[in-house]
Amino acid sequence: MTLEVKELGCKRGGREVFAGLDFQLSPGELLVVTGPNGSGKSSLLRMLAGFLRPTAGSITWDGEPVLEDREAHGGRSAYVGHLDAVKPVMTVEENLEFWSQFEGALVGEGRVRAALERVDLVPQTDLPAGFLSAGQKRRLNLARLVARPAALWLLDEPTSALDDKSSQIVATMIEEHCQEGGMAIAATHLDLGIDAQRSLDIDAYRPRVQLEVVS
Amino acid sequence: MKSFARIVARDVRLAVRQGSAGTMAVGFFIIVTVLFPLGVGPELNILARISAGVLWVAALLSCLLSLDRLFQADFEDGSLDLLVLSAVPLEITVLAKCTAHWLTTAVPLVVTAPVLALLLNMDTDGIPTLMYALLLGTPALSLIGAVGAGLTVGIRRGGVLLSLLVLPLYIPILIFGVGAVDARIHGLGPEPHLMILGAITLFAGVAAPWATAAGLRASLE
């Protein structure tokens, strides 16, 4: 299991965001992607998830482009974006149950419970998710990672809206995931509180703007 | 198959709890239909003549009313990302969402249609045929509408664009739906019309999920 990114380039709205990005990720590794706003962290994660088509270069999993077999890539990846995918009229438990089971696997009730316990949402189990705070919704979204195992975690600012204690929980979750042989890529401008084995400053891949002198 | 059932169950549950889609479509269906006697005048034979057409047009419009939310709600809260990035083929997900849309929107319309048909003085012979025709034709409304909904998902006020895209494609369903009822009332067999409606639905069932999935993927870029 290796995720390989070669010469990856991204263009948004006709403007080049980054180019020539290269890295490789093996089981047990965490890659922290850093960079200022607008440097393409989210675009990179959305590309790795297969939502965006690379404008240059390739993303391969064990040598096969990830867009060749979208279902296989979907099955091994878990994506946490800016939006929490929480339905306000369903209870916390129903939300999590759906996301962990809709792909067909029957996840035991225990697993959903354990995931809620993990992110400290047990008291809210039967509460309609519309009443959750921003941080609690984020935690519910992160609980999916525990309830539905995936080899590759793609985390876009996973600790935004979270307090120190919850950020710590997320950091431990990521560390354990890597210890168990999982892979994780986290984009963040905050300190995750993990001794990242590897980090990637995406700003270094920004194409240098050539200034034109207008006379 | 399990995934299909779970997505249908979730969407139906959401529709029931929010109580919006189904009741709104039925309310709209009733109001639009009731407006016609007020506008056209109370002559019974004129109403009987136009009843099938009025009911079908009202059904098309009510179906359209809830279509713009088909993917929009999931798009806005990020659920669509997760549905796309999953082990379930997107085409199956689309088919499941269309099924849920049909169950929550079209089925209530089919149930209310006979009452409104009586209100418009439709020949009672035509009423069962109207229901068959609606049952056979409405799945195609959801399926064809999904293609438009998928294409317009990221657009603000996409509902208007959706109507412009989808309504022309509804014309064959309208023609054969009304044709079936008229044929029955005039003593001809409605079967050819019903068969064509069934064929349109089958074709839409095969083609629409692919087109919708492609549209959704393009909208997420």
* pLDDT above 70: residue B182: yes
Per-residue pLDDT tens over the stretch B189-202 = 899 999 999 999 99
The pLDDT of residue B7: 92
Note whether residue A103 is domain-resident: yes
Q: Count of domains in chain A?
A: 1
* pLDDT above 60: residue B78: yes
Please tell me which of the candidates A81, A85, A103 has its beta carbon nearest to residue B87. A103
Note whether residue A213 is domain-resident: no
**CA-based Rg of chain A, rounded to a whole angstrom?**
18
Q: DSSP secondary-structure letter at A128?
A: B
B156 alpha carbon, distance to own chain's centre: 22
Chain A: closest CA distance from residue B153 (Å):
15
The pLDDT of residue A212: 58
Which chain A residue has its CA at the smallest distance from B15's CA? Answer: A89
On average, the pLDDT of chain B sits at 91
B121 phi and psi angles, rounded to 5 deg: 60, 35
Per-residue pLDDT tens over the stretch B13-31 = 998 888 777 788 899 999 9
CB contact under 8 A, B87 and A104: yes
Note whether residue A212 is domain-resident: no
CB contact under 8 A, B220 and A51: yes
The pLDDT of residue B22: 75
Residues 190-219 of B with CB under 8 A from A: 217
Chain A: closest CA distance from residue B210 (Å):
14
Mean pLDDT on B92-114: 94
* pLDDT above 90: residue B1: no
Percent of chain B with pLDDT over 90: 67
Mean pLDDT on B82-96: 92
The pLDDT of residue A210: 55
Which residue, among B81, B217, B219, B221, would best test binding to A if mutated, counting the most A CBs under 10 Å from its CB? Answer: B81
**Do B53 and B178 contact (CB within 8 A), yes or no?**
yes
Which chain A residue has its CA at the smallest distance from B85's CA? Answer: A74
The pLDDT of residue A196: 65
Domain extent, residue B143, equals: 2-220
Chain A touched by B20 (CB under 8 Å): no
Chain B touched by A13 (CB under 8 Å): no
Q: A209, exposed or middle or buried, with CB in 10 Å at 0-12, 13-18, 19+?
A: exposed
**Do A130 and A88 contact (CB within 8 A), yes or no?**
yes
CB contact under 8 A, A90 and B2: no
The pLDDT of residue B209: 95
Note whether residue A211 is domain-resident: no
Which positions in chain A touch B89 (Cβ < 8 Å)? 70-71
Which positions in chain B touch A72 (Cβ < 8 Å)? 87
**Do A99 and A144 contact (CB within 8 A), yes or no?**
yes
Please tell me which of the candidates A71, A87, A89 has its beta carbon nearest to residue B89. A71
pLDDT band at B171, cuts 50/70/90?
very high
CB contact under 8 A, B82 and A84: no
CB contact under 8 A, A71 and B87: yes
B132 phi and psi angles, rounded to 5 deg: -60, -45
Residues 19-58 of A with CB under 8 A from B: 49-53
Closest CA to A4 of A49, A63, A73, A45: A63
Note whether residue A79 is domain-resident: yes
Note whether residue A88 is domain-resident: yes
Please tell me which of the candidates A51, A70, A103 has its beta carbon nearest to residue B3. A103
- Rounded to two decimals, the ipTM of the complex is 0.87
Please tell me which of the candidates A49, A53, A102 has its beta carbon nearest to residue B7. A102
Note whether residue A215 is domain-resident: no
Q: Count of domains in chain B?
A: 1
Note whether residue A163 is domain-resident: yes
Query: Tens digit of pLDDT per residue, chain A (215 long)?
Result: 889 998 898 888 888 888 888 889 999 889 998 888 888 888 999 999 989 988 889 999 998 888 888 888 988 899 998 898 899 999 998 899 898 888 877 666 788 888 888 888 888 888 998 898 998 999 999 998 888 888 999 999 888 888 888 888 888 999 999 999 899 999 987 777 777 668 888 888 887 665 556 65
The pLDDT of residue A201: 84
3-state secondary structure of A11: strand
